[in-house]
Amino acid sequence: MTASIISGTEIAKQTRSQLAKEVAQLREEGVAPGLVIILVGDNPASLSYIKGKRKASEEIGIDFKLEQFPESLSEEDLLRVIDSYNEDSRFHGILVQLPLPKHIDEIAVIEKISPEKDVDGFHPVNLGRMLTGQKCFLSCTPAGIMEMLRIKGVDPAGKHAVVVGRSNIVGKPVGQLLLKENATVSYCHSRTRDLSSITKQADILVVAAGKANLITGNDIKPGAVVIDVGMNRNEHGKLCGDVAFDEAKEVASLITPVPGGVGPMTITMLAYNTVEAAKKTRS
């Protein structure tokens, strides 16, 4: 069997064109959605992701601002900057691009962002609301994955979903969203024994470990749906995921490529959250 490829690029394009229509309507009502991204330092990967976020925002009609500071910015000054954007009604969404320099406490920074403007969905208030099934900003990568599954008609109910990775921004929340959709969820991580024996049981396999070729064709159950979140550079400097794509596509039924899979959906869900934040300021 050769898998069908889930084109994140294509799904993102459709979602973005719908969002553009909504933004045009919002603007007519006098609300211009605004997003500010705060970057400390000049990490090349962060700059590349931010470029994509700017492009999508502009395409959709969201006012976009990048606030870039030198690596030496103090935590105190960063917290002050966040506070000023919490108060600034032109910006409905605030995103602090991670990772931050080592001298800055990520948790303190995330907690400083007003939960109503936390379009990354990283604030404990939003994470708690997600856990208890309340309306909240969902973090962008997990939300993008769920949207791809929904559009492809993959219903997680009753299926065994295996998530490789347990980070706060990808692994943990995506597992919870799959659980909410009634999947039976297993989490794997670096201390998992015999990873392959568990991934082979997955009807839905989400891989977010950041290790090229961690999952090969032999680690996948025939007919599984495989979502590859990894973003790595191979020995030729080419972008690749955590799944050995050429082998895996011969075993899976549906699979996301890297690039062109989860990445474009992550960016689109950020725009979605920003539009939702702007909508809430009406009336």
User: Within the chain, what is the greatest distance between any pair of CA atoms?
Assistant: 56
User: Which residue of 266, 268, 273, 274 would you call a contact of ligand NAP, by CB under 6 A?
Assistant: 266
> Binding residues for ligand L37, per CB under 6 A?
48-49, 52, 95, 97-98, 120, 140, 231, 239, 258-260, 263-264, 266-267, 270
Rounded CA separation 24/90 (Å): 16
Write the DSSP assignment of 8-60 as a string of letters.
HHHHHHHHHHHHHHHHHHHHHTT---EEEEEEES--HHHHHHHHHHHHHHHHH
Residue 14 annotated as catalytic: no
CB 140 within 8 A of CB 169: no
104: which 2 tokens? 């800055």
Element holding 157 (H helix, E strand): none
Could you tell me the smallest distance in angstroms from the CB atom of residue 122 to ligand L37? 7
User: Which residue of 93, 156, 171, 257 would you call a contact of ligand NAP, by CB under 6 A?
Assistant: 171
Q: Which partner from the list ligand L37, ligand NAP, none does 180 bind, CB cut-off 5 to 8 Å by kind?
A: none
Residue written as tokens 């994470």? 127
Q: Which of 53, 112, 117, 159 is catalytic?
A: 53
195 binds ligand NAP (CB under 6 A): yes
Residue written as tokens 């590349």? 48
- Which x/- pattern, by CB under 6 A, does the window 123-162 give for ligand NAP? ------------------x---------------------
Q: Which of 63, 118, 120, 228 is catalytic?
A: 120
> How many CB atoms are located within 10 Å of the residue 245 CB?
22
How many residues touch ligand NAP (CB under 6 A)? 26
Strand 232-233 versus strand 239-240 pairing type: antiparallel
Q: How many residues does the chain have?
A: 283
39: which 2 tokens? 């970057």
Could you tell me the smallest distance in angstroms from the CB atom of residue 258 to ligand L37? 6
Could you tell me the smallest distance in angstroms from the CB atom of residue 249 to ligand NAP? 18
Residues linked to residue 67 through DSSP beta bridges, in sequence order: 38
Q: Which partner from the list ligand L37, ligand NAP, none does 230 bind, CB cut-off 5 to 8 Å by kind?
A: ligand NAP
Residue 172 annotated as catalytic: no
Could you tell me the smallest distance in angstroms from the CB atom of residue 169 to ligand NAP? 5
Residue 120 annotated as catalytic: yes
268 binds ligand NAP (CB under 6 A): no
Q: Which partner from the list ligand NAP, ligand L37, none does 264 bind, CB cut-off 5 to 8 Å by kind?
A: ligand L37
Helix ranges restricted to H, 103-241: 106-112, 124-131, 140-151, 171-180, 195-199
Contact set with ligand NAP (CB under 6 A): 141, 164-167, 169-171, 188-192, 195, 208-211, 214, 229-232, 262-263, 266
**Which active-site residues does the annotation give?**
53, 97, 120
